[in-house]
Chain A
Amino acid sequence: DVKVTQSSRYLVKRTGEKVFLECVQDMDHENMFWYRQDPGLGLRLIYFSYDVKMKEKGDIPEGYSVSREKKERFSLILESASTNQTSMYLCASSLGAETNEKLFFGSGTQLSVL
């Protein structure tokens, strides 16, 4: 079974801090994604990557960056955290052999920015 692991379940940070959210998948998936989940807004795509060192902006990339130095790891970076970035962050991966593939999600990181 595919395992997508997010390093922290809960995280509390201060405004202006640099924040790293880590995601690791163990099934050699090509594609990795970062979503944020907010009540009433559903899941919104922040960034995604189809290959190592490759990244593409999603729908709401402002205030975020990403890093994919290794195939299994996709990091989301908040350069200077702000209170409006308080949210649930979900990492996901998919195989990458075809289009429209099933997403495997991590358990999420609930980030609070104070």
Chain B
Amino acid sequence: GENVEQHPSTLSVQEGDSAVIKCTYSDSASNYFPWYKQELGKRPQLIIDIRSNVGEKKDQRIAVTLNKTAKHFSLHITETQPEDSAVYFCARGLGGNQFYFGTGTSLTVIP
């Protein structure tokens, strides 16, 4: 269906450690997978995205991997810093401009 399952719902890591958030979907027609970050009291902002013809994409400390066969994609944050603390939302798109969002992961980076 339409839902994107996102896990975990909360995640606490020590500063400098890595954080991984995973999302799964069931619609094989999905072809676009963005990640949005929402800091406390602020608006969600796109941090990275991946399209279905790519298996991995990296941008400095952030990477996203996509496994189309297994229908899951993950956000990886390395060398976490306190400013990485936020709620992260995964989403999937079907080729239009509507997206189905996951339920969010609240990440806390402990200094």
Residues of A at the B interface (CB closer than 8 Å) are 4, 31, 33, 35, 40-45, 48, 50, 58-59, 90, 94, 96, 99-103, 105-108
Interchain residue pairs with CB less than 8 A apart (11):
A42-B101, A43-B89, A59-B2, A94-B97, A99-B96, A100-B51, A101-B97, A102-B49, A103-B99, A106-B43, A107-B42
- Contact A99 B93, beta carbon cutoff 8 Å: yes
Residues of B at the A interface (CB closer than 8 Å) are 2, 6, 9, 31-32, 34, 36, 42-46, 49, 51, 89, 91, 93, 95-104
Find A40's partner among B34, B93, B103 (CB 8 Å cutoff): B103
- Contact B93 A100, beta carbon cutoff 8 Å: yes
Question: How far is it, in angstroms, between the C-alpha of A33 and the C-alpha of B97 when the chains are bound?
Answer: 10
- Contact A48 B103, beta carbon cutoff 8 Å: no
Q: A41 with B97: in contact, given A90-B44, A108-B43 (CB under 8 Å)?
A: no
- Contact B44 A45, beta carbon cutoff 8 Å: no
Closest to A35 in B: B101
Closest to B103 in A: A42
> Within 8 Å CB of A33, what residues of B?
98
